[in-house]
């Protein structure tokens, strides 16, 4: 099955182009590098903030920047994005602000609200529930007669959930304009992929639904971008959904509450940094082409640091949360149980005996 679904690659880990059929420009390469550096800077800062107790438990994504940035860069205005709790490089690329992402990890409801006109759903914490949602949004656009598409992000563990199969089956039957974007990191928390499925690839699961499927080097931002672009155009042209398996590697823990050294050889992560790192391979390519510039990279890094520091300041100076949000936004009209809980809280706050 791995032979049937070979991994598509445009640039290898050493920065060599292995598929010369694409027109690559200096500006495009630098754009992709800048987006990934911005995302990695945010990720590292967020881990530090959590360790300092300034935000809650955080889900890092370092190592997966190419998969997220490359795929999100292929979307157009008006398309739909359904991320998980780990896909901040994707949401950042598609239009979320750094401060919004920071507020999310601060536990603020404002962190779930996208910019005006951006169709970005709140991060899905329940595993795979966003796949049927993405299919539904795509079908709604199809019924309205638009050419908008949806993309759903999920990890390898999500493919063991019923929602994965329901989302793909429904999308296949009704030819929904949706792209299912899997980031196969090899582990669903502490469970290696070979212990959760007999399938040799995730892409092959598309066969059950007569759905186009492909495996791509998830650390190659160019391969991810071009293959996602193809899948999106197919969906936009009414040719149905696609399942993309981006084979990648996350360097760090599942979350900051996790210790990966208990179930994964961390030495392997150190080796992979040199061999497959998405930023390093673009840097090697630019050096080979003669347009790598240390001063340019330092300037981009400085701008990223400044943007993120400003967002942290905004997060920490944000007005205190309104406790009524816990009660007032669960249902359109509060149920009697919600009203009772709110009354009990307000009575307790006033010092009354409940």
Pairing of strands 187-188, 191-192: antiparallel
Backbone angles phi, psi at 69, to 5 degrees: -65, -45
HSE value, Cβ hemisphere, 13 Å, CA-based, for 109: 11
Q: Which helix (H) or strand (E) holds 215?
A: strand 212-217
Among residues 96, 254, 281, 284, which one is catalytic? 254
State yes or no: is 263 an active-site residue: yes
Sorted by sequence, the CB contacts under 8 Å of residue 173 that are 6+ apart come out as none
In 10 A of CB 303, how many CB atoms? Answer: 14
Q: How wide is the angle at C-alpha 335 spanned by C-alphas 331 and 336, nearest 5°?
A: 160
State yes or no: is 281 an active-site residue: no
In 10 A of CB 86, how many CB atoms? Answer: 23
State yes or no: is 33 an active-site residue: no
Asked whether the beta carbons of 243 and 237 are under 8 A apart, the reply is no
Backbone CA torsion sign across 97, 247, 44, 274: negative
Among residues 38, 96, 250, 284, which one is catalytic? 250
Three-state secondary-structure class, residue 96 = coil
Gap between the Cα atoms of 159 and 155, Å rounded:
7
Tell which residue, 202, 204, 142, has the closest CA to residue 173.
Answer: 142
Gap between the Cα atoms of 138 and 151, Å rounded:
9
Among residues 16, 22, 51, 263, which one is catalytic? 263
In angstroms, how far is the first alpha carbon of the chain from the final one?
Answer: 63
Instruction: Supply the residues annotated as catalytic.
Output: 250, 254, 263
């Amino acid at each position: 099955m791995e032979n049937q679904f070979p991994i598509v690659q445009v640039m290898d880990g050493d920065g060599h182009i292995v598929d010369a059929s694409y027109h690559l420009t200096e500006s495009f390469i630098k754009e992709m590098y800048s987006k990934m550096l911005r995302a990695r800077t945010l990720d590292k800062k967020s881990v530090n903030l959590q360790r300092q107790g300034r935000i809650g438990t955080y889900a890092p994504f370092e190592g997966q920047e190419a998969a997220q940035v490359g795929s999100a860069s292929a979307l157009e205005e008006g398309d739909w994005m359904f991320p998980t709790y780990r896909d901040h490089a994707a949401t950042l690329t598609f239009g979320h602000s750094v401060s919004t992402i920071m507020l999310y990890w601060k536990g603020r409801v404002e962190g779930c609200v996208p910019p005006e006109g951006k169709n970005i759903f709140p991060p899905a914490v329940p595993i795979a529930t966003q796949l049927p949602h993405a299919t539904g949004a795509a079908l709604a656009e199809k019924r309205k007669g638009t050419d908008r598409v949806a993309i759903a992000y999920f990890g390898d563990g999500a493919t063991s959930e019923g929602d994965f199969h329901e989302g793909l089956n429904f999308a296949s039957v009704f030819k929904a304009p949706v792209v299912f974007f899997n980031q196969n990191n090899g582990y669903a928390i502490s469970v290696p992929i070979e212990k959760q499925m007999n399938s040799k690839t995730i892409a092959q699961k598309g066969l059950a639904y007569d759905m186009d499927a492909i495996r791509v080097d998830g650390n190659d931002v160019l391969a991810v971008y071009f293959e996602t672009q193809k899948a999106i155009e197919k969906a936009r042209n009414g040719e149905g959904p696609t399942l993309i398996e981006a084979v990648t590697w996350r360097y760090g823990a599942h979350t900051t509450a996790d210790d990966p050294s208990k179930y994964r050889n961390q030495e392997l992560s150190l080796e992979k940094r040199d061999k497959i790192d998405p930023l390093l391979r673009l840097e090697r390519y630019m050096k080979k082409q003669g347009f790598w510039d240390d001063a340019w990279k330092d300037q981009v890094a400085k701008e990223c640091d400044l943007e993120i520091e400003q967002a942290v300041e905004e997060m920490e100076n944000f007005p205190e949360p309104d406790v009524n949000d816990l009660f007032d936004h669960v249902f359109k009209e509060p149920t009697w149980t919600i009203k009772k809980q709110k009354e009990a809280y307000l009575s307790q706050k006033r010092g009354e005996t409940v």
